[in-house]
Amino acid sequence: MSTTPEPVLRLSAIHKSYNIGKPIEAEILHGIDITVATGEFTALIGPSGSGKSTLLNIIGLLEPPTSGSVEIAGHVVSYRDDDVLTRLRSETLGFVFQFHHLLPAFSALENVLMPRLIKGEKITTAVREQALHLLDAVGLRAAESKKPSELSGGMQQRVAIARALAVKPALVLADEPTGNLDTKTAADIFVMLRKFNRDFGTSFLIVTHDPQLAATCDRRITLADGQIIADER
């Protein structure tokens, strides 16, 4: 008898306020409920100022909600222990940003290995081969020894995608991953993300302003004024 896998993400009644108790107190998120299934490819869309970045920071365990609960890959998150947060973030989440944030002094291969190095893992032959396999999957095996300055913007973003997948995360958070790229390169990057989603069952939550890219996702969650106003599949 098969069982339904645990959702990779469950947000319940998430509120977020800043400047609490002060005259300029502002509530940014007003009771957000989201459940993302394992293997789901979801777009998070909405106008600037709608609360997307704040919500992504909460999901990425970078800041706590004011109230509500966050559950990632079956773990109910407590924001009281930084070490636990760091471990959960490094073991369950991958990040892709609009600007790749590669380390300029390191090669493409070393950048892909960085999440494992940060976790304190020993870089064995098997770990190195896995990183090379990821570079191969993004079409950059031949560029393994090149520094970021020797790569185009699209190539750097491909390295960033490989880096995000290095620890086999349950969920990849992508914040405008194609926002700094030309139309064709952006489309190629999105196809690549979709391929990893299908091949490895990795869940993706992608913030994008591009309606054409959002339309290719399994699901589109629209945020406005700190509230979900649409959730379409």
CATH number at residue 81: 3.40.50.300
Q: Provide the 3-class DSSP secondary structure of residue 199.
A: helix
pLDDT digit string, tens, across residues 164-204:
888 888 999 988 877 777 778 778 878 888 888 888 889 99
What pLDDT score does 5 carry? 65
Give the chain's largest Cα–Cα span: 57
- Whether 2 is in a domain gets the answer no
Classify residue 212: in a domain, yes or no: yes
Query: Could you list the residue range(s) of the whole structural domain that residue 220 is in?
Result: 9-232
Residue 40 belongs to a domain: yes
Predicted TM-score (pTM) of the model is 0.86
Position 154 in a domain: yes
Strands 219-224 and 41-45: parallel
In a domain, 126, yes or no: yes
Distance CA 9, CA 70 (A): 8
Q: Is residue 4 part of a domain?
A: no
Cβ neighbours of residue 58 closer than 8 Å, sequence gap 6 or more: 11, 14, 16, 29, 64, 65, 70
Query: How many domains are contained in the chain?
Result: 1
pLDDT in tens, 70-116: 999 888 898 878 888 888 888 889 888 766 678 989 999 999 998 88
- Residue 146: DSSP 8-state: -
The SS3 call for residue 84 is helix
pLDDT surpassing 70 at residue 6: yes
**Average pLDDT in the chain:** 87
Q: How far apart are CA 7 and CA 36, in angstroms?
A: 6
Q: Answer yes or no: is 167 within a domain.
A: yes
In-domain check, residue 227: yes
